[in-house]
Structure 1
Amino acid sequence: MSDHATKGRPVLLEDKLLIRRFNSGDTEALRRIYEKYRSELLGVAGALLNDAGAVEDVLHDVFVNFSSQAGRFELKGSLKGYLAICIANRARNVNRQDRLISAEQVVEAGPRASGQPNPLETAGHREQRSIVTCALAKLPQEQRQVIVLHVLGGIRFREIAHQTGESINTVQSRYRYGLRKLQSLLNGQVAL
């Protein structure tokens, strides 16, 4: 058995127990789920949203909707994957509503909204982060979503495919084409 598979089991088991408690009306379980995934979900939202001010709002909307499912929520796959897909879907809707954005707003979303370092910021210097964020913003939404969910969210392709209703081949193709385009943009040093 792979080391990765054994690491994932305690998380999956803990999530199943939290969902069982959540479905029985335990508000502490909802709070624990929120605290457990908040930082990662903010990172995903920050990377996908065109409006930095909407990051916390999207997280809030997703958890309000999630909390309304208490008593009837069925976990299929990973809880983190489910919530990350919900964030991505809500972010897509917000982006549709507000098309006038700047790439710099996306860069600033993580640290200001969450109080946590943006995953892109910890990977390099501010200038590098800004260049990567500008390049990400130039990708088609479908490619950007898959890259962000897989790289920043740590969601497996199979889970992304399951949650979005797309085939795994489609998800992997979007990732591959997105990475190629991102590499091309970065090699050309995207103009800020």
Structure 2
Amino acid sequence: MSDAEDIVHDVFVSFAQSADRIKLSGNLKSYLLTCVANRSRNKNRANQHRKSVRLDEAESAVSHSKTPEQWLICSEELSRWSKTMARLPYEQREVVILHLRAGMKFREIATLQDMSVNTVKGRYRYGLNKLRSILNGEVEK
């Protein structure tokens, strides 16, 4: 099964197990879509964490081919990028990561987050502008 199918399956199983405790005041379809979107976001966060751990492992595996100076520069750059991304508002950071790292199209992100494509594009644009201004500010210092 693919990750998407796993997520949908998990949501339906979870819903079936707790259906007697859930009091829906709105649309069931909207509720389930929100659950799937939230579960997807959680899985993406977990995958990003695992990828960063794997990246650290990969870096340590290749570290023998780099000089200590090169290793230090790479480590500092990764740290700087990580800190810079953390300074973005969550909504912008999520769109930037989903588009650049996960390779998702704006339409896919809009569907996942239940918002318009223009809102997603705006968050992406504002996120990139903020990244640019943060990094330019660091260069000027």
Question: Please, what TM-score do these two structures have when normalized by structure 2?
Answer: 0.55
Specify the code of the residue in structure 1 equivalent to 2:117: I
Three-state SS of the structure 1 residue aligned to 2:115 is coil
Q: Which one scores higher on RCO, CA 8 angstroms, separation ≥ 6? A: 1
2:68 equivalent in structure 1: none
- Equivalent residue pairs, number: 102
List, as ranges, runs of 4+ consecutive aligned residues in structure 1 with deviation greater than 6 Å. Answer: none
In structure 2, which of residues 49, 53, 66 is the aligned counterpart of residue 112 of structure 1?
53
Q: Could you say which structure has the higher helix fraction?
A: 2
The yes-or-no answer on 1:173 pairing with 2:122 is yes
The yes-or-no answer on 1:88 pairing with 2:29 is no
1:166 is displaced (CA, Å) by: 0.7
Between the aligned partners of 2:83 and 2:117, the Cα distance in structure 1 is 27
2:131 equivalent in structure 1: 182
Q: Over aligned residues, Cα RMSD in angstroms?
A: 3.9
Unaligned 5+ runs, structure 2: 14-35, 60-72
Contact kept? 1:146, 1:175, Cα under 8 Å: yes
Would the alpha carbon gap of residues 157 and 188 (structure 1) be closer, same or farther in structure 2, given more than 3 Å must change? same
1:84 is displaced (CA, Å) by: 8.7
In structure 1, which of residues 117, 125, 149 is the aligned counterpart of residue 98 of structure 2?
149
Unaligned 5+ runs, structure 1: 1-29, 38-61, 71-82, 95-105, 119-123
Contact kept? 2:95, 2:109, Cα under 8 Å: yes
Between the aligned partners of 1:126 and 1:115, the Cα distance in structure 2 is 10
Between the aligned partners of 1:175 and 1:129, the Cα distance in structure 2 is 21
1:126 is displaced (CA, Å) by: 2.1
1:66 is displaced (CA, Å) by: 3.6
1:90 is displaced (CA, Å) by: 5.9
